[in-house]
Every structure is written in C-alpha cells, then in structure tokens.
Amino acid sequence: MDKILYINTCVRKESRTNRLARRLLDKLGGEITEIGPDLNGLKPLDEGSLKRRDELTAAGDLSAPELDAAREFSEADTIVIAAPYWDLTFPSILKIYLENVTVCGVTFRYTDEGIPEGLCRAKKLYYVTTSGGPIIHNFGFEYVNALATEFYGIEETRFISAEGLDIIGADPEKILSDAADKIRL
C-alpha cells in the first residue's frame, strides 16, 4: 500500500482547497499521513535551528528528531500538497514546512559537481489549489515544482485547481465538482 503524505496548509475550516484535495486522496487510496496547518509543531528556521541542523548533517546524524519531517517527506511514495492560492502564491506555513524538509543528506544531496540530486522516494507530487478569481501567475506551484524536480528528485508534478469560485454568477460547487472529475492519477 502506498504511503501518501498529505500536506494540508488550509487554515479555514471550510476550505475549498482541502475539499478538492480530499477528492484526490479518495481516488489515490493508500495509507495517508496528514500534516495539518499547525505543521505538527514545526517552526520557522532561525539561527539556532539552522546551526543545529548543520551540526547534525555534518556529523551524519540523520536520525535526530529535528529531521523527522524531512525523513517522513523523503520516505513517502506520493505527496499531496493542498495550498490555497493567496497573493500569487501559497500560505506562508507551506514555506516553513518546505524549509524544514529541504535537508541535505535526507531529501537531496549534492553531487561532486555541486548539482542537487534528489533522495525522495515519491514519483509524483500533486499540488492542489483553489482561487476566488483566475490564477494569472502561479509562483507558488512554480516554486514547489522546482523544488520537487530539481532538489527532491520527484519525477512528476501535477497541478490541480478550481478557479473563479468567487466571480459573480459562478457556481462554486459545480466548479469544484468539475475540477474533481478531471483529476488524473
């Protein structure tokens, strides 16, 4: 059974992004581990946490609790990120999460030529979002896609969206339903 890591950055209880992501999760099946908007206690990196991480990785101590999130990310078979489209990108909590899991020696390493090489097991990453209007620039997905393919070694990323939910005259439930029906695995 596939191990699916669901990174849910939806802070609203009635999040439409979360609803769409859960439709994807239903289609995927598998054993789901959810990281909720509290990020299981992860905090933004600061001078002290960066120093500690550097010490751990330099010593080759990749089993330390501070690296649990990175190991969990690296060991997932499939990754699903639910991130509402906010201000041309995603909620800041997703950046905090990604900072914590982007660990040299766990989710990627550098080759002798200095090129990042992915260490993650996942072959697919799904990025799910919704927006009140149209998505014009999608810097959030572009950033996650670059990390996934260039650092983590994830071969395929898929973008799933439901757009224009708050446009006057729109039928948000139909838009969500249509988006869910179009999901390809």
What is the Cα–Cα distance from 152 to 142, expressed in whole angstroms? 14
Residue 20 has pLDDT above 90, yes or no: yes
Q: Is 2 in a helix, a strand, or coil?
A: coil
Residue 83 has pLDDT above 90, yes or no: yes
Look at residue 69 in the predicted model and tell me its pLDDT: 97
Q: Which two tokens stand for residue 159?
A: 């973008």
Q: Is 51 in a helix, a strand, or coil?
A: helix
Q: Which residue has the higher pLDDT, 25 or 87?
A: 25
Cβ 7 vs Cβ 79: under 8 Å: yes
Residue-wise pLDDT for 154-174, tens only, equals 999 999 999 999 999 999 999
- Tell me the one-letter amino acid at 50: L
DSSP type of residue 59: H
User: Considering the chain, what is the average pLDDT of its residues?
Assistant: 96
The structural domains of the chain, ordered by start, are 3-181 (3.40.50.360)
Q: What is the pTM for the complete model shown?
A: 0.96
What is the Cα–Cα distance from 64 to 126, expressed in whole angstroms? 28
Q: Which two tokens stand for residue 30?
A: 């598998």
Look at residue 135 in the predicted model and tell me its pLDDT: 95
What is the Cα–Cα distance from 160 to 63, expressed in whole angstroms? 34
Residue-wise pLDDT for 96-135, tens only, equals 999 999 999 999 999 999 999 999 999 999 999 999 999 9
Look at residue 1 in the predicted model and tell me its pLDDT: 81
DSSP type of residue 107: T
